[in-house]
Amino acid sequence: MRGMGNMQNMMKQMQKMQKKMMEAQEELGEKRIEGTAGGGMVTVVVSGHKQVVEVNIKEEVVDPEDIEMLQDLVLAATNDALKKVDELSNQTMGQFTKGLNIPGF
């Protein structure tokens, strides 16, 4: 019978950890991470769930002849922001997945 108590305790611990993981995942989604390119000429803001929520382009960047450069800057700023989200996600969720191989984290 002692084994059943340990099993129940372990299940409660797993439920607590799952709840904390869900809360951390939710907090991550509320975070806003900024990526920049061209010395701040282009700024892209993404959520912790890797959704682009804002793109800012300084007026002096917009020149019809330089549209390809502008596209490259937006791409670079987006990738910069997404890289930062990966780093934040690894820091936030890594506390739960140390030593575990959990798909999606």
Q: What is the pLDDT of residues 37-96, one digit of tens each?
A: 889 988 888 888 888 888 888 888 777 777 788 878 888 888 888 888 888 888 877 777
Lowest mean pLDDT among 31-35, 41-45, 88-92, 101-105: 101-105
Query: Three-state SS for 18?
Result: helix
- Give the CA distances from residue 69 to residues 23, 35, 50, 58, 78, in Å, rounded to whole numbers and listed in that order: 40, 17, 24, 13, 14
Q: How confident is the model at residue 99 (pLDDT cuts 50, 70, 90)?
A: low
Residues 6+ positions from 97 with CB-CB distance below 8 Å:
105
pLDDT of residue 3: 64
Query: Three-state SS for 44?
Result: strand
Domains of the chain: 2-97 (3.30.1310.10)
pTM higher than 0.85 for the full model?
A: no
Calculate helix-pair angle for 67-97, 2-30, nearest 10 degrees: 160
The closest of 10, 7, 73, 67 to 38, measured between CA atoms, is 73
pLDDT tens-place string over residues 2-30: 667 788 888 888 899 889 888 888 888 88
